Amino acid sequence: MNGDFEFQYPWLLALLGLLPIYALLRGKVGRLSALTFSSADIARAAGAQARSAAGRFLFFLRLLVVALAIVALAGPRMANYHVETETPGIDIMLVLDLSWSMMAIDMGKPAEKLTRFAAASGVLKDFVAKRQNDRIGLVAFSGVPYLASPLTLNHAWLDENIERLHIGIIGELGTAIGDAVIVAAKRLKAVPNSKSRIIILLTDGDNNMGKVEPLPAAQLAAALGAKIYTIGIGIEQPCYLPDFDRATGKLILDAQGNVVLEQHVNGLTFPNYLLQPANYAVLGKMADLSGGHFYRATNARDLKSIYNQIDRLEKSEVKLRRFTTYEPLFHWPLLAALGLLALELILANTRFRRVP
């Protein structure tokens, strides 16, 4: 927003040009004394100063009053120019897999110990930061889905909710892909006047829990007007699940700083758990049924590239609305004119009072 000074009726300022003409035509200022003096010298000495001091000053005040009144009539004002964005907005529900398999450390070099969840959460935050004009929500799921954040424009609050998530925060084990998609689709449908509805599903497994299978869930989402982008994360071969703290989601390392592959749960030790790749065929069909797209991410770089592609595909159309508000200022010259008029009247009837 910026502001400029202007007049609503600038043509009225032309009347100011008449004031000098009026002053010239009026001739001598000040009125002659009506007193009779015994000597002309006395009258000359007393009268000349009265005209130059009193008459000229009072006449100047009157001209100044008229000038300020003309300025007030011209309507001085401050024009404040505004530019607002009108964005129809895309409503996006992020669906994030929080099953135990997301702790696999196959998204970077072995020394990085970069888990699938760590890579996904970082990329999600970057994606959210780019979509300032869109409402974004988050569904986290494992054996059951949970709404981590409703659709919101408060992306700082959404980031906080992403940060507080970790593997193990959901007690129900498994992967309920279909149920999670249903929750996301219903949340999108509940928002009226949406330009576009998008679901971005990220998972590394196959549906093995929940009441609804993935394909019927995708069909329902499409019927509700939602497009699904599916992302299968993880390498395309079996890998082992490292041990981790279920309360914090942190990897458990041995004395040499290596990951521990045996699972320790409630004081019990379990053998190495072999993870299978995601069901890419189902993810591809889900995307096709809803008019979306299926992607594969085998490392953090791939995952970042995928979200960048989705960001480019689903752009919000931003329109600018320009308008102007006005702050009237006519009262300031008007108040000044009234003040000077009052001063003229007071002086004319006191210090510069004319004796008849």
Mean local confidence (pLDDT), 206-213: 94
For residue 98, give every residue at least 6 positions away whose Cβ sits within 8 Å of its Cβ, in sequence order, or none: 117, 140, 141, 142, 165, 166, 167, 169, 170
Three-state SS for 199?
A: strand
Give the residue with greater pLDDT, 37 vs 279.
279
Amino acid 272: pLDDT: 78
Residue spans of the domains in the chain: they are: 2-81+327-348, 88-317
CA distances from 248 to 107, 137, 163, 165, 302 (A): 20, 23, 12, 9, 27
Rounded to an integer, what distance in angstroms lies between the CA atom of residue 234 and that of residue 214? 19
Give the pairing type, strands 226-233 and 293-297.
Answer: parallel
Report the distance separating Cα 191 and Cα 185, nearest Å. Answer: 10
Contact 255, 291 (CB under 8 A): no
pLDDT at 207 over 90: yes
What are 331's two structure tokens? 């009262």
**Model pLDDT for residues 76-113, shown as the tens digit of each residue:** 999 888 776 666 678 999 999 999 999 999 998 888 89
Percent residues over pLDDT 90 in the chain: 49
Q: What percentage of residues in the chain have a pLDDT greater than 70?
A: 86
Q: Is the pTM of this model over 0.85?
A: no
CATH T-level assignment (fold) for domain 88-317: Rossmann fold (3.40.50)
Residue 278: its pLDDT value, please?
87
Going by pLDDT thresholds of 50, 70 and 90, the confidence category of residue 156 is very high
Q: What are phi and psi of 271, to 5 degrees?
A: -70, 170
Q: What DSSP string runs through 144-165?
A: SEEEEEEEES-HHHHHHHHHH-
- Residue 210 to residues 40, 99, 332, Cα–Cα distance (Å): 119, 13, 72
Residue 314 pLDDT level (bands cut at 50, 70, 90): confident
Rounded mean pLDDT, 63-68: 88
pLDDT at residue 50 greater than cutoff 50: no
